[in-house]
Structure 1
Amino acid sequence: MDYADILDYVNLVFNGVFFWLIWRRARVTRAVVICCCAFNILSGSVYNIATGAFSLPGQIVLSIVDIFLIAYFATSRRVRAQLNRPFSLEAARADREREAGFFRPRTWAFWRNLIMYFCVFSVVGHWLEAGYCTFIRLGILPGIYDPESQIWSDWLYPFPVYGVGAVACVLVLYPLKSLLQRRLHGTVAPLLASFVANGLVCTGIELAMGLMLNQPNAQGVYPLWDNSELPLNVLGQAWLVNDLALGAVATLYAWVVYPAAERALDRIRPQSLDRIAALIVAGFMVLCAVKFLPA
C-alpha cells in the first residue's frame, strides 16, 4: 500500500467517528471534523511536496471535499444549532446506562429483534460488499474482487454469513463495547479499543473460515478466495487491510446501527412488532426456498 491507500483507510475510521458523533449531536463534532479535514489537507500536501508531485491546482482538486467540510462545519448556523449536546462524562455515562438495556438476552424481545436482524442483513449485507468492491474496481481502494461473484447478479440472494455477522456483532462485539466503556475513561479510548478488537475478531473469523473451507488444491489454487499475493496477508487466507475495513463496519454497527435500530423498534408496540417479525421471517424463508431449492 502507498500513502494514499493508508490515508483512505484512516479516513474510513474518521468517517465512522464522524457519523457516530453527528448521530449523538455532540458539540465537539465540529472541532473533530475540522481538525481531521485539516490533517488530510496538510498531510497530503506534505507528502506530495516530499515526493515532488505537488501542484497547487492539483492539491486543491484533491482536497476539495475537505475544504468544503471545513467551510461548512465552521460557518453553518444549522450545524451549530443541531450539534449542541455537551460531550461530557455525565452525558456519556447516561447514554451508556440507557444503551445497556439494549442487551437483554433473557427476554423474548431481544431474540425476536435478533432474528429480524439476521434475516434482513443476510440480504442487505452483500449490498455493502458490492459497494466496497465497486470502490476497489474503480481504483479508489486497494484489493481484489471477483467480477463473476453472485453479489453483482442477484440483489435478493440471501447470504447467511452476513446475517451471522450481524448476530455476532450483537452477541459479542456490543457487550465488548459496553465493557470497554465501563473500563476506559472518556469516549475516544473505548471507541479506538473497540475498533482494534473488532478488527482482530474479523481477522480471526476470516482466518478460521479460510483454514476450514478454503484450502488450496494440488495445483495450489484456492477455491473461494486467494489473498496470498497481497501484502499483509495471513497464511494466504486473511488480509489485514480488508479486516480493518470489516472492523470499521463492525464498529459502526455496534456503536451506531444497533442502538439506533433498538431505539426505533422500541417505539413500536410489542404486538405489532411480533407481527412484523413474523412477516420478515416468512418472507426470508420463502426467499431461501426460491433461491436454494432446485427447480
Structure 2
Amino acid sequence: MPKDFSDPKKLGFMRLIEVFFACNVVFTISLLVFVVKGGDELGFGEMLDFANLVFDGVSLWLIWQRKHLARHFIIGFSLFNIVVGSAYNLAMGQFDIVGQLIASSSDIILLVYFLTSRRAKAVLTQPFSAEIKHADLQRHIDFYRPRTWGFWRNLIIYFCVFSVVGHWMEAGYCTLIRFGLIPGIYDPNSQIWSDWLYPFCVYGFGAVACVLLLFPVKNFLQKHLKGHALPLALSFVVNALVCTGIELAMGLMLNQPGPDGAYPLWDYSDMFCNFMGQVCLQNAVAFGIVATLMTWVVYPGLETFLARFSKDVMNVAFVAVVIVFCILFFFYCVNVLLPDFDASTIAAEAEAAAAQAQQAQPTAPESG
C-alpha cells in the first residue's frame, strides 16, 4: 500500500528546511548590527547573499502556508543560484568544480528534493486563488467590530503591549543608526537605552491608529482592487502619509525650536528630503513599513491567535495586562514629589500653628 503524504501537518524534511531558513534569516540579520558603515564594501557575493536571505524568508512563508508556488519558487531560485554563481566564478577566473559543488551544495539539495519529493507535491497544494483571497478578506473584515467589547478589550491590550514593544523597536532603529547602517542621529543619553519597560505611549497610540484607521483602509483597497501588489502598494503609501502627517502635527505642537534654534525632541534638518526639520523621507518609509506590517500581518495574526482563547481567559488577560501597564506607567511616567517631613518638623509646625491661632483670638474687654 503506497504511503500517504497528504497530511499537511507532517512536513518531514521540509520541517528541517523551515528551521534552516528561519535560523539563517534571524542569525544573518542579527549579525548586521556589528557591521560598521564604510568598513565593508558590498560586492557581488554579498549582494547575492542578501538576495538569498530574501529567498529564504519568502520560501519559509510559502512552505508555512503550504502554497503550491513554493516548489516552483524554490526550484527556480536554486537553479538561479547555481547558474549565476558558476557564471560569476567563470567570468572572474575563479571557477573550480569541487569548490563550486561545495558552495552550491545547499541549492543542489533543495533542487533535488523539491523535484523528486512526493511529500512536497502532496502537501504544497494551496493556490493563490481569488476564493482564498476573498475568504481571508472576509475574515479580516470580521475582526473589525467596534460595537463589541472584545474589539475594544483587545485594542486596549494592544495599546498597553505596543507602548513597551515600541520602545524596543525605537532602540533597535537607533542601534542601526549607531552602527552607521542607516543615516540619522540618536541621543546616546536617551531613556531608550535604559529602563527597558518604560512605556512609550506614542507607539501604543500608533498601534491603535493602525487598527482604527489604517486596517479598514487596507480592507477597502483589497475589496475594490484586484490582485495583491496594488492594494499592498497603495496601503503602504497611505500608511506612510498618515504616520508622517501625525509626526508632523506632533512636531509642530511639541517640537518647536528654542531661542538657540535647537529642536528639543528631534531634528531632521540634515536628513535627505526633510520638511521643516520635523519629518523626513527615511522615517516616512520606516513608518510605512511598520504600519503596513501591523495592518497586513501583525494585527490579523494577533486576532487569529487570540480568537483561540475563551472570553473568560481573554478578560483575565485584559485585567492582568492593564494592571501591569498601570504599574509601569505610574512607576516611570508619573512622578509627584512629596515634601520630606520628619516627626520633629511636624511637631514644630504644629506648635507654631497653635501659637499663631492663640494670638489671633480676640481678648475679652476688662470690666470697670
Q: Structures share a fold, TM > 0.5?
A: yes
- 1:160 corresponds to which residue? 201
**1:237 and 2:254 aligned:** no
| Structure 1 residue 293: Cα displacement | 2.9
Partners of 1:135 and 1:31 lie apart in 2 by 35
Partners of 1:72 and 1:251 lie apart in 2 by 35
Give the one of 201, 204, 210 matched to 2:242: 201
- 1:269 corresponds to which residue? 310
- 1:176 corresponds to which residue? 217
Q: Which amino acid aligns with 1:176?
A: V
Larger radius of gyration: 2
- 1:222 corresponds to which residue? 263
Query: Which sits farther off after the overlay, 74-83 or 155-164?
Result: 74-83
| Structure 1 residue 26: Cα displacement | 3.6
Q: Which amino acid aligns with 2:223?
A: R
- 1:150 corresponds to which residue? 191
Partners of 1:235 and 1:69 lie apart in 2 by 50
Partners of 2:105 and 2:220 lie apart in 1 by 37
Alignment partner of 2:143: what SS?
Answer: coil
Q: Which amino acid aligns with 1:274?
A: N
- Structure 1 unaligned segments of length 5 or more: list them: 43-54, 58-66
- 1:246 corresponds to which residue? 287
**1:289 and 2:323 aligned:** no
* TM-superposition CA deviations, 1:87-144 (whole Å, max 9, x none): 1111111111112110000100000000000000001111111112212222222222
Partners of 2:109 and 2:169 lie apart in 1 by 28
TM-score (ref. length: structure 2): 0.63
**1:118 and 2:159 aligned:** yes
| Structure 1 residue 71: Cα displacement | 7.1
- Structure 2 unaligned segments of length 5 or more: list them: 1-41, 85-91, 95-103, 338-368
| Structure 1 residue 56: Cα displacement | 9.1
| Equivalent residue pairs, number | 267
Give the one of 93, 106, 112 matched to 2:134: 93
Query: Which sits farther off after the overlay, 211-220 or 258-267?
Result: 211-220
| Structure 1 residue 29: Cα displacement | 5.6
Partners of 1:168 and 1:69 lie apart in 2 by 43
Q: Which amino acid aligns with 1:174?
A: F
Q: Which amino acid aligns with 2:136?
A: D
- 1:62 corresponds to which residue? none
Alignment partner of 1:224: what SS?
Answer: coil
What's the C-alpha RMSD, in Å, of the aligned pairs?
3.6
Aligned-residue identity in percent: 51
Change (3 A) 1:138 1:248: same
| Structure 1 residue 203: Cα displacement | 1.3
| Structure 1 residue 24: Cα displacement | 4.4
Partners of 1:87 and 1:239 lie apart in 2 by 37
**1:108 and 2:155 aligned:** no
CA contact (8 A) 1:170 1:254 kept: yes
Partners of 1:240 and 1:56 lie apart in 2 by 42
Change (3 A) 1:164 1:128: same
Partners of 2:164 and 2:313 lie apart in 1 by 23
* TM-superposition CA deviations, 1:1-36 (whole Å, max 9, x none): xxx8xx9xxx9xx79x9487666444446767877x
| Structure 1 residue 158: Cα displacement | 0.7
Change (3 A) 1:212 1:125: same
| Structure 1 residue 292: Cα displacement | 2.1
TM-score (ref. length: structure 1): 0.78
Please give the residue correspondences for 1:60-75 in structure 2 after superposition, counting only pairs within 5 Å: none
Give the one of 223, 227, 233 matched to 1:192: 233
| Structure 1 residue 257: Cα displacement | 0.6
Partners of 1:70 and 1:205 lie apart in 2 by 46
